[in-house]
Amino acid sequence: MRLLSVAVLSAVVAGTAATAFAAEPGATPTRMSWSFSGPFGKFDRAQLQRGFQVYKEVCATCHGLKYVAFRNLAQPGGPGFSDAQARVLAAEYQITDGPDSSGEMFERPGRLSDHFPSPAPNDEALRSRFGGALPPDLSIITKARSYESGLIIGLSDFFRQYQEHGADYVHALLTGYEAPPAGAKVAPTQAWNKYFPGHVIAMVKPLEDGRVAYSDGSPQTVDQYARDVSAFLHWAAEPHLEQRKRIGFQVMLFLIVFAGLMYFTKKKVWSQAKDHA
H/E element, 117:
none
Distance CA(84)–CA(129), nearest Å, equals: 35
CA angle 186, 123, 164 (to 5 degrees): 70
Residues 2-61 touching other proteins, rule: CB under 8 A, are 2, 5-6, 9-10, 12-13, 15-23, 25, 39
Work out the number of other CB atoms within 10 angstroms of the CB of residue 120. 17
Least distance in Å: CB of 140 to other proteins? Answer: 5
**Could you tell me which stretch among 88-96, 98-106, 205-213, 243-251 binds other proteins (CB under 8 A)?**
243-251
Examine residue 263 and tell whether it contacts other proteins (CB under 8 A): yes
Examine residue 187 and tell whether it contacts other proteins (CB under 8 A): no
Examine residue 239 and tell whether it contacts other proteins (CB under 8 A): yes
Examine residue 84 and tell whether it contacts other proteins (CB under 8 A): no
Least distance in Å: CB of 145 to other proteins? Answer: 6
What character string, x for contact with other proteins (CB under 8 A) and - otherwise, covers 104-143?
--------------------------------x--xx--x
Beta-sheet strands, E only, within 16-168: 94-97, 106-109
Examine residue 259 and tell whether it contacts other proteins (CB under 8 A): yes
Examine residue 161 and tell whether it contacts other proteins (CB under 8 A): yes
Least distance in Å: CB of 245 to other proteins? Answer: 7
Query: 12-22 b/e with 16+ CB inside 10 Å = b?
Result: eeeeeeeeeee
CA neighbours within 13 Å on the CB side: how many for 188? 0
Class of residue 192 by CB neighbours under 10 A (exposed 0-12, middle 13-18, buried 19+): middle
In the beta sheet, which residues pair with residue 177? 193
Amino acid identity for residue 102 in this structure? S
Distance CA(24)–CA(197), nearest Å, equals: 8
Judged by beta carbon, residue 108 or residue 266, the one nearer other proteins is: 266
- Which residues in this chain contact other proteins in the complex, by CB under 8 A? 1-2, 5-6, 9-10, 12-13, 15-23, 25, 39, 67, 72, 136, 139-140, 143-146, 151, 157-158, 161, 163, 165-166, 197, 237, 239-240, 244-245, 247-249, 251-252, 255-256, 258-259, 262-263, 265-266, 269-270, 273, 276-277
